[in-house]
A and B are shown apart, each in its own frame.
Chain A
Amino acid sequence: MNDLTDLTLTETLEALDNKKISEEELNRAYQQKIDNLNPILNAYLYICQGSSGIPYAVKDVIVTEGIPTTAGSKILEGFIPPYNATVIERLSYHNLRIIGKTNCDEFAMGSSGENSAYGPTKNPWNLNKVPGGSSSGSAVAVSAGLCSFALGTDTGGSIRQPASLCGVVGLKPSYGRVSRYGSIAMASSLDQIGPITKSVADARLILSWIQGEDGYDNNAVSYSNIKSQTKKSDNLSGIKIGVPKEYFGKGLDTGVESAVKKAISKMEELGGQIIDISLPCTEYAIATYYILMPSEVSSNMARFDGIRFGTDRDNFGQETKRRIMIGTYVLSSGYYEDYFIKAAKVRTLIKQDFERAFEKCDVIVGPVSPTTAWNLGAKMADPLAMYLSDAYTVPASLAGIPSISLPCGFSDGLPVGLQILGKYLDEEKILTIAEVYEQSTEWHKMKPTVDMS
């Protein structure tokens, strides 16, 4: 074995099974890498020592019993949850162990990782660049080999976008596929927990472990469960792949566009049938999202009053305060109809866009982020510019449909992600197609070399 930390979860399980490696060796390798790189990358906020089980990382908005959970906020400094999130309970049956809690934008609010109260996470491909967000630490930990896989949460792109910017796989399941119990809520009608992994097969396996109803989240469902493995296929024949023109318009970086278009050609080579489609309401997605999401945020953040847990409300960061105020405004008397209800109606139109598109195709492909990773600090003074960077990920969130981001090339040495969106609860199809593409390319094998100088 060369570097144990390069192994995917699936490969690790096999190596352990065949006794090619020991759990102790595995843990030592990851621990050593964390010791070396975490001071530079700031991916982990808390590290758990241990030598058994397969180590995985957990975004710090997911509560872990007895392990500090801050959600990247000063307001939760020192908070020790008295309970586990459902996903943590579920993973505890699979010989895994939590190796650490990963850095993130405060309460998952951000697209760059810079809104953490504990300092930004750095992109392992280029330390001057943002890793994306809000699951910044989780994406970086997977990309830099600091864990076998990580859990993230996605509300408007927070799994897919950092996965794209860091060159790893990120899956946002359908809304309701995974119980949200124990995920510190940002926007409850949009939040989903999902895996960030080194391969598509890993994402499938982890989803099969964490999916399904738990009795605690009314929205979590148990039907059409995803299998942990599928028969391997090497072509996409008979698959109709929709390409929405709205995802290739103004604002899309040429380097990203060319990588994504090459990926689409590759899918055609593999037998896929490419179909031009239109999602006309795409341009309204960000506006819709920035009404609905802050509304829920303003209410979800109300429990932080410093009485039962946490510190005082002046410890909220700037972005959190901003969203609380926007949400308070759009829900307040006299504005509810014009903003909140209006946005809820446009949400219906966006959902219908997808439903109509899926009458013509099996999956939809496009870019994840309009650009590759940008410079640290570049968008911090301009919240709206930051919000607009989520233009391709927010629509799937509003519609509640599943979506995966996987590596599809590079632009100026920075990773580019391909997004594959599926019908509601049809993770099966996007995972199958993503795996065929992945296995026909080498992108997922590329690892960053962190500049230690």
Chain B
Amino acid sequence: MFNKEDIKKLAKLANLPIKESEYEKFASQLSEIISYVKQLERIDSNQVEPTFNVTGLKNINWGDKVEPSLTQKKSLQNAKMQRNGFFVTKGIFNE
């Protein structure tokens, strides 16, 4: 069902670096899992509403209230790279 190209495309969409040696394995595992979950096709669910949230709650929204932020130092404390208070990543093309 899944071939190497499919896995490559998925990996790109998911921003996942996959090793050349892993493609075949993932292709066969995903094929097996997706064919398993396809059994849901057997159920007639046309008249059923989907459940996205089990609580049945609606609209528990908080007011427009400012709370303290993290300090700049704490915000940056786990960053691999930083400069002058900014997070830094390798150059990307934009603007």
Give the residue name and chain of the B residue nearest to A399 (CB). B54
Chain A residues with CB below 8 A from B57, complex form: 176, 218-219, 221
Chain A residues with CB below 8 A from B51, complex form: 344-345, 347-348, 351
Within the complex, which residue of B7, B40, B60 is in contact with A346, where a contact is CB–CB below 8 Å? B40
Cβ B36 vs Cβ A309 within 8 A:
no
Cβ A298 vs Cβ B14 within 8 A:
yes
Chain B residues with CB below 8 A from A215, complex form: 62
Chain A CB within 8 A of B66 CB: no
Chain B residues at the A interface, C-beta cutoff of 8 Å: 7, 10-11, 13-18, 26, 29-30, 32-34, 36-41, 43, 45, 48-55, 57, 60-62, 70, 74-75, 77-80, 87, 89
Chain B residues with CB below 8 A from A79, complex form: 78
Besides A328-B14, A332-B13, A347-B50, 14 new A-B residue pairs in contact (Cβ under 8 A), listed by A number: A218-B57, A218-B60, A219-B55, A287-B40, A298-B14, A308-B79, A312-B17, A313-B16, A321-B26, A322-B29, A329-B30, A332-B10, A387-B33, A398-B54
Q: Chain B CB within 10 Å — which of A284, A329, A343 has the most?
A: A329
B76 smallest CB distance to A (angstroms): 8
Chain B residues with CB below 8 A from A310, complex form: 78
Give the residue name and chain of the B residue nearest to A352 (CB). B48
Cβ B37 vs Cβ A339 within 8 A:
yes
Chain A residues at the B interface, C-beta cutoff of 8 Å: 78-80, 82-83, 175-176, 189, 215, 218-219, 221, 281, 284, 286-288, 290-291, 298, 302, 305-314, 316, 321-322, 324-326, 328-330, 332, 339, 341-349, 351, 383-384, 387, 398-400, 424
Cβ B53 vs Cβ A287 within 8 A:
no
CA distance A308 to B79 in the complex (A): 5
CA distance A313 to B14 in the complex (A): 10
Chain A residues with CB below 8 A from B61, complex form: 218
Chain B residues with CB below 8 A from A348, complex form: 45, 48-51
Chain A residues with CB below 8 A from B62, complex form: 215
Chain B residues with CB below 8 A from A83, complex form: 70
Cβ B53 vs Cβ A189 within 8 A:
yes
